Copies of this chain bind each other. A is one copy, B any other.
Amino acid sequence: MGKKQLIMEKAVELFAQQGFELTSVQQITEHCGISKGAFYLSFKSKDELIIALIDQFMSQMISDTDYQVTKNQNDEKTLYEFYFTMFKSSQKHSNFAKILMKEQSQSFNKELVSKFHHYDRLLEKTILTMMEGLFGEKIENTKHDLVYCIKGFISIYSELILFNNVPVNLEQLAHSLVEKTNLLATQITTPFVTKEIFQLKRLSHEEVTKDQLLEILEQSLSEAEELLEQESLSLLKQHLLEPSLSQVLIEGLLKNIQGYPNCKWIAYLLRNYFALEFTENK
């Protein structure tokens, strides 16, 4: 076994027990029976190690699950396989899964946070595609909300089986969640997470690019029905392409459009975007 692999395996054990911050490189090297110098031959830093761990395990977990979902042809077994594979995978890599639960929202290393969000987005995509395949048009308005319910189930039941010495029947767990998911998918009428919130959440973690904003603005513009709405959007578009208006005027334009339902989102995004620029220019 390579040194790198040895370090990763031993480190996972310690991180699962004590967490990333509270585990020192010293401890890791002692646990491996190697010297401190040897560690730094394999990894440039402690951060590089945790990043490597996340990439190794997450890509495997996601691809395992995604494979199960895409190979199934949207029959009644798909949901079951999804849940079963998910929990089986987190049971197999239980130490890593523990790290994931512990560090997911706690880490403050920028690269780490973006890694987590990257894989979280992949998982959301898998779930969304699966649900679309299974229920089609019927869940058009509820599918994003359903993704959150499913994530909630996964999170709370994972915690239960990972951190409590409870003997678990994964088949039963998967069956139980399939029933719940079917119930919710076929009968929910008032979703909370809308398409807008879903996409907004995905954007709020990365820098929203000017191009993305323009795209969304164009869309709102094409849907605009009233003149005030159209002209305000048009002016905002010009200002986005080539800043020319004062902070106060922008604020007014945003107020103009934020009353229209189809402009709520772009108004919100633009306000964030310009506010950011403003403070940066100070």
A residues bordering B, Cβ < 8 Å? 18-19, 21-22, 101-103, 105-106, 108, 145, 148-149, 151-153, 155-157, 159-160, 163-167, 172-173, 175-177, 179-180, 183-184, 187-193, 197, 200-201, 204-205, 268, 272
A22→B177 CA distance, assembly (Å) = 37
| A188 and B180 form a contact (CB under 8 A) | yes
A contact face: mostly helix, strand, loop, or mixed: helix
Q: Indicate the member of A149, A151, A167 with the most B CB atoms within 10 Å.
A: A149
A176 touches which one: B21, B191, B204 (CB < 8 A)?
Answer: B191
A201→B187 CA distance, assembly (Å) = 32
A175→B192 CA distance, assembly (Å) = 8
What are 13 A-B contacts defined by CB distance under 8 Å? A103-B106, A145-B176, A149-B156, A152-B153, A164-B201, A164-B204, A166-B201, A166-B204, A172-B192, A179-B190, A180-B188, A183-B183, A184-B184
Q: How far is the CB of A188 from chain B (nearest CB, A)?
A: 7
Q: How far is the CB of A266 from chain B (nearest CB, A)?
A: 13
A204 touches which one: B157, B165, B200 (CB < 8 A)?
Answer: B165
| A155 and B157 form a contact (CB under 8 A) | no
A105 touches which one: B148, B163, B197 (CB < 8 A)?
Answer: B163
A152→B151 CA distance, assembly (Å) = 8
Q: Note all chain B residues with C-beta closer than 8 A to A102.
A: 105-106
Closest 10 CB pairs of A and B: A152-B156, A152-B152, A176-B192, A102-B106, A164-B201, A21-B21, A173-B192, A176-B190, A164-B204, A165-B204
A108→B19 CA distance, assembly (Å) = 8
| B192 and A183 form a contact (CB under 8 A) | no
| A156 and B151 form a contact (CB under 8 A) | yes
| A152 and B157 form a contact (CB under 8 A) | yes
User: Nearest chain-B residue to A197 (Cβ)?
Assistant: B166
| B268 and A167 form a contact (CB under 8 A) | yes
A18→B201 CA distance, assembly (Å) = 21
Q: How far is the CB of A229 from chain B (nearest CB, A)?
A: 20
Q: Note all chain B residues with C-beta closer than 8 A to A22.
A: 21, 108
Q: Note all chain B residues with C-beta closer than 8 A to A164.
A: 200-201, 204-205
